[in-house]
Amino acid sequence: MKKALLLLLTILLLVSCSEPIRQDRLLMGTNCSISVFAKSDEERIQECFDILSSIEKRISAKLSESEISKINKAAGKESVRVSEETFKLIKRSVELHKLTKGAFNPLIGKITALWNIGSGDEKVPEKAEIEFLVTHAREGEIVLDEANQTVYLTDEYTSLDLGAIGKGYASDVLSAFLEKEGVSKALINLGGNVYAVGKKSKKANWKIGLRNPDGNGLFTTVEIEDGAVVTSGAYERYFIQDGVKYHHIMDPDTGYPVNLDLTSVSIICEDATLADALSTAVFVLGKEEGIKLLTELGVNAVLLTRDKEIIKL
């Protein structure tokens, strides 16, 4: 009897240890949730939220005191000295711009600000204004001075928007922090962009569900072990005018929301910043060009087309 009770207690303890300890916060304009699986790791959750909040204060183009806003205000006028972390991220964004053949364009800020999608007060901007800003976003440059750690935007009609890589970057920072702190198992979910730290169990990988763009449950699941699944979809933020839906992912060549054949793009990879840039870029490039780029880079992905074809790479 005693033995049976002991066994039951041990089983209960094992079950409770594998239950996630989860907390949620509204940060970076989205719901962020962190789960750990050991009671001793619970304190790390608050530290993760503190890190997220400090990242947001540094890189949000919407906060007027952020380092990105300071660079944007000085566009066409002068260079701005920034923290080492922000400098590295902007440098990375320049590399990712090249890697994605311009589909991810960090200088798209004036265009996204003009559309202001997600503000609740949107309307389609003037065509001439969009075209003017598209030319500037294409021709403007980001000048980086490594020695002085300064950033200079050459064109006053451009501004930085790192929204397409911000959540991926933040989850890379958090996963590195958790690993450094000895947390062997955790789940980071920043508005649907997931980073799984460690393995789920000895036998099983993490199963991450991918949301159906029409809001009806999941269209598939992917299995991962220690890495990110980052998704871009036209359903995340949008508004409707005269029966037409305008979403938040812009074609840098036109300045209008991308009108292509993909409705959801998920990138599966250890480097979440890369995954985030690619999720946006593949969405912009569309099925054919997107598959070409992903194959060239050897990166895994799940694409959903408008006619509901699921492509797993």
In this complex, which beta carbon is closest to Mg ion, that of residue 41 or of residue 251? 251
Q: Under the criterion CB under 6 A, does residue 137 sit at the interface with ligand AMP? A: no
User: How many angstroms separate the Cα of 70 from the Cα of each of 6, 49, 74, 125, 180?
Assistant: 62, 24, 6, 25, 31
Q: Which long-range contacts (CB under 8 A, 24 or more apart) does 61-69 make?
A: 61/109, 61/113, 61/159, 61/160, 61/161, 61/162, 61/163, 62/29, 68/160, 68/162
Q: Of the listed pieces 48-56, 197-205, 278-286, 295-303, which binds ligand AMP according to CB under 6 A?
A: 278-286
Q: Of the listed pieces 34-42, 143-151, 160-168, 206-214, which binds ligand AMP according to CB under 6 A?
A: 160-168
Shortest Å distance, C-beta 168 to ligand AMP: 7
Indicate the residue whose CB is closest to ligand AMP. Answer: 163
Q: CA–CA separation, 195 vs 208, rounded Å? A: 10
Q: Which of residues 203-262 bind ligand AMP (CB under 6 A)?
A: 232, 236, 248-250, 252
Q: Under the criterion CB under 6 A, does residue 172 sit at the interface with ligand AMP? A: no
In this complex, which beta carbon is closest to ligand AMP, that of residue 36 or of residue 190? 190
Provide the pairing of β-strand 244-247 with 186-190.
Answer: unpaired
Helices 272-297 & 166-180 angle (0-180, nearest 10): 110
Q: Under the criterion CB under 6 A, does residue 99 sit at the interface with ligand AMP? A: no
Binding-site member from 48, 164, 210, 224 for Mg ion (CB under 5 A): 164
Structure tokens at 256: 């209008």
Q: Under the criterion CB under 6 A, does residue 55 sit at the interface with ligand AMP? A: no
Q: Of the listed pieces 1-9, 12-20, 160-168, 170-178, which binds Mg ion according to CB under 5 A?
A: 160-168
Binding-site member from 45, 59, 164, 294 for ligand AMP (CB under 6 A): 164
In this complex, which beta carbon is closest to Mg ion, that of residue 264 or of residue 280? 280
In this complex, which beta carbon is closest to Mg ion, that of residue 62 or of residue 199? 62
In this complex, which beta carbon is closest to Mg ion, that of residue 167 or of residue 185? 167
User: How many angstroms separate the Cα of 281 from the Cα of each of 32, 139, 165?
Assistant: 23, 19, 10
Shortest Å distance, C-beta 102 to ligand AMP: 9
Residues 210-230: b if buried by 16+ CB within 10 A, e if exposed: bbbbeeeeebeebebeebbbb
Q: Under the rule (CB under 5 A), what is the footprint of Mg ion?
A: 164, 276, 279-280
Q: Under the rule (CB under 6 A), what is the footprint of ligand AMP?
A: 104-105, 108, 112, 161, 163-164, 232, 236, 248-250, 252, 276, 279-280, 284
